[in-house]
Structure 1
Amino acid sequence: MTTILHRPARIVAKGPFDLGASARFLAGFTPAARPDAGDEAGTLRLAFPVEGTWEHAGVLVRQRAPGSVEVSVEAGQRVAGEAVRQVRRILSLDVDGSGFAAVGEADPVVGRLLERYPGLRPVLFPSPYEAACWAIIGNQLRMASAAQLKRRLAERNGVSVEVSGHRLASFPAPAELLALDRLLDLPEVKVRRLHSIARAALDGVLDAAALRAMDPGEALYRLQKLPGVGPFSAQLILIRGAGHPDVFPTAEERLHAEMRALYRRPEAKVTELERIARGWRPYRSWVALLLRTNREARSAS
């Protein structure tokens, strides 16, 4: 793959943001399985297929000053700008977070989480396509086993990209995935479903901007038409793939368990938890991420 190292682009966050928090989250986020994501303070390395052209890009992100990052892209000439825009979404810097602190001021539970995880915004899958592939691979598997399979698929069938002296495996682009008849040790039904996801990505069904522009209910309805995508997977794709900032995950049981514990409502049904989450608008997805991060941290201690 012939690539060019392009002049760094600057992205300024609206509202609190800390790249170090993003790197720590990504290093510990099992689906990403990226402990090498950032071994230097204020640095993050990524490799991914760029939406639309699906050419592979390597990206180095550095935090040069509070609230802003510098993005260096190694990619073909025609995709550099799109790669920067994709990084903006991956790090949730395409959302105005200046009102996020007010949610914490109104809700003490959220306020404590904001103090515990300052500057942490959702770190997304590179695209809804990759989020959907993760959902298919991970179905009925332990998360660690699914993460290992996804990583091996990227290493064996993706593209190796060099980023700041490190070789990173970029996940196979949709056409590359479609060309594979066998995918590691995955059962045939998962291979068929992954091929359906790849075709949907090529047809624009998984376009991040289009999914974000829809009413969330309509977007979730359309996503559940994809083979193997149920309510949990559809919400994962919309929230953690397309980056919708204001969707409450009604199918995420671990989130609900954390809410019941922190809000001291052990018997609360999902409908009651949804009512609580209305106070988080327009950042329901962001607060959900803090709650899940807190649960994982407590479980690990």
Structure 2
Amino acid sequence: MTETVAFAVRGPFDLAASIRFLEGFTPAGRPDAGRHRGVLPLAFPAAPSWRPVGVRLRQEGGAVHAEIEAHPDDVAPAAEHARRILSLDVDGTGFAAIDDPHVVRLRERFPGLRPVLFHSPYEAACWSVIGHRIRMAQAAGIKQRMAERLGDVVGGMASFPGPERLLTVTDVPGLPPVKIERLHGIARAALDGDLDAGRLRAMEIAQALVELQRIPGIGLFSAELILIRGAGHPDVFPASERRLHDEMAHEYGLHDPSPARLAAIAEAWRPYRSWVALLLRARREIETAEIARGRRITR
């Protein structure tokens, strides 16, 4: 069935900014995002059924409308996923009140941009395994081919395979057996509910990171990625994101600052530390094109 759901927007938000981010940020793997005249199409397996759903998003004034193609039981979960993917499940009114002048400049450069997430913590975890120690563009290609080969087509787009389907996979071109084994572990964690976004966001940040690192193949770097860009936690300062730390040092004019010093600076960004970090990373990629040029993911 197809149903349209409207999301209220609390605080600044621009869907066009989200689309531009998806076009230019390699891990998203969506160079086609801007070809749909202001509409953002998505296809993904939606928890808890993990059946594939299709969502077409458009913005009209103070609301975002989601046209959802899904099994009747999956319409509400698909809407919840879509709101989270665009960070619309967070009240953003306080973001404009952060008066750190560095953050003010970032907001002016990227008006209306909020974090655009992976479709789920499950897909974020799969990305972290696929992309470990290979170039991001290569990893994005492998993930897309997995969707095309193993997933379902919904609304003209290929959905990444759900965890039950992923457990049946024994060979993926470009991935060694150890990565397939780790993907199976992620699939089992997803089916057990260990990668539920609401569960992860309800935990204390430190506890959520510990829980995620119990999944084989998930270290601190990946755990932070899953919590921030999978579950959509709005207020995490990444302790292991070297590129972010380098960009902060550049922005604040610091020479070789410690992670503790950077974390102390980020206290002024509460409760939107994840959001500010995203703007810093987006600007760094625009100015350096380091991901587009093919540097590898490091941990």
Query: Is the pair's TM-score, using the shorter chain for normalization, greater than 0.5?
Result: yes
Corresponding residue of 1:98 = 93
Name the aligned partner's letter for residue 92 of structure 1: S
Corresponding residue of 1:176 = 165
User: What aligned pairs does 1:1-301 form with structure 2 within 5 A after superposition?
Assistant: 4-6=1-3, 8-65=4-61, 67-103=62-98, 106-162=99-155, 167-300=156-289
Any idea what SS the aligned residue of 1:61 has? strand
Detail structure 1 runs of 4+ shifted over 6 Å in the superposition: none
- Kindly state the Cα deviation for residue 266 of structure 1 after the two structures are TM-superposed: 2.2
Name the aligned partner's letter for residue 121 of structure 1: R
Structure 1 residues 246-292: Cα deviation after superposition (integer angstroms, max 9, x where no partner):
00001000000100001000221111000000000000000000000
- Kindly state the Cα deviation for residue 38 of structure 1 after the two structures are TM-superposed: 3.5
- Kindly state the Cα deviation for residue 41 of structure 1 after the two structures are TM-superposed: 4.1
Any idea what SS the aligned residue of 2:34 has? coil
Name the aligned partner's letter for residue 275 of structure 1: A
Q: How many angstroms apart in 2 are the aligned matches of 1:240 and 1:260?
A: 22
Name the aligned partner's letter for residue 77 of structure 1: P
Q: Which residues of structure 2 form unaligned runs of 5+?
A: 291-299
Structure 1 residues 23-80: Cα deviation after superposition (integer angstroms, max 9, x where no partner):
1111212112112223244321100000100010011001111x32111001111101
Q: How many angstroms apart in 2 are the aligned matches of 1:108 and 1:233?
A: 30
- Kindly state the Cα deviation for residue 184 of structure 1 after the two structures are TM-superposed: 2.1
Q: Indicate the RMSD between aligned Cα atoms, in angstroms.
A: 1.1
Deviates more, 1:29-38 or 1:284-293: 29-38
Check whether the contact 1:20–1:41 (CA below 8 A) recurs between aligned residues: no
- Kindly state the Cα deviation for residue 300 of structure 1 after the two structures are TM-superposed: 3.4
- What is the identity percentage for the equivalent residue pairs of Structure 1 and Structure 2? 57
Any idea what SS the aligned residue of 2:93 has? coil
Name the aligned partner's letter for residue 171 of structure 2: R
Structure 1 residues 82-103: Cα deviation after superposition (integer angstroms, max 9, x where no partner):
1011100000000010000111
Any idea what SS the aligned residue of 1:99 has? helix
Any idea what SS the aligned residue of 1:70 has? strand
Any idea what SS the aligned residue of 1:31 has? helix
Check whether the contact 1:37–1:46 (CA below 8 A) recurs between aligned residues: no
Q: TM-score, normalization: structure 2?
A: 0.95
Any idea what SS the aligned residue of 1:73 has? strand
Check whether the contact 1:44–1:61 (CA below 8 A) recurs between aligned residues: yes
Q: How many angstroms apart in 2 are the aligned matches of 1:69 and 1:38?
A: 17
Q: How many angstroms apart in 1 are the aligned matches of 2:20 and 2:53?
A: 22
Any idea what SS the aligned residue of 1:172 has? coil
Q: How many angstroms apart in 2 are the aligned matches of 1:40 and 1:233?
A: 32
Q: TM-score, normalization: structure 1?
A: 0.94
Q: Which residues of structure 1 form unaligned runs of 5+?
A: none
Q: How many angstroms apart in 1 are the aligned matches of 2:229 and 2:279?
A: 13
Check whether the contact 1:38–1:45 (CA below 8 A) recurs between aligned residues: no
Report how many residues are paired. Answer: 290
Q: How many angstroms apart in 2 are the aligned matches of 1:56 and 1:79?
A: 9
